Amino acid sequence: MVNFSFLMIMCSLIMIFCGLSSFISYHKHLLNSLLSLEFMMLGIFWLLSLQMSVLGSEIYFSLFFLTLVVCEGALGLSLLVLIVRSHGNDYFKSFSVLVC
């Protein structure tokens, strides 16, 4: 019989690697890249909360990590809005260093 905590850890690791593979392979749009980064952060948060629940009293570190992830997501979405307003789309091929 498989231990339930081992199953939860493997599920979170699968989430991290699925997010990493989608970040590497589907990089046509900026929004796809941001969503795969958020999926990886969700898997890391799940793994971190599982490990911190074993320790007991260190749950505040996972809340601090979640706060940083939310700030990263808000920054990514604001950059996405800025790029869509300036370039008209979020294709990586339409970005140029010279246009800025």
Q: Which domains does the chain have, with CATH numbers?
A: 4-94 (1.10.287.3510)
Task: Please give the pLDDT value at position 90.
Answer: 78
Average pLDDT, the chain: 83
SS3 29: strand
Closest listed residue to residue 73, CA positions, set 49, 28, 51, 40:
40
Contact predicate 72/41, CB 8 Å: yes
Its pTM stands at 0.80
Q: How many other C-beta atoms lie within 10 A of the C-beta of residue 12?
A: 20
pLDDT tens profile 7-43: 888 888 999 999 999 888 877 888 888 889 999 999 9
pLDDT tens profile 74-91: 998 998 888 888 878 877
Q: What is the mean pLDDT of residues 38-57?
A: 84
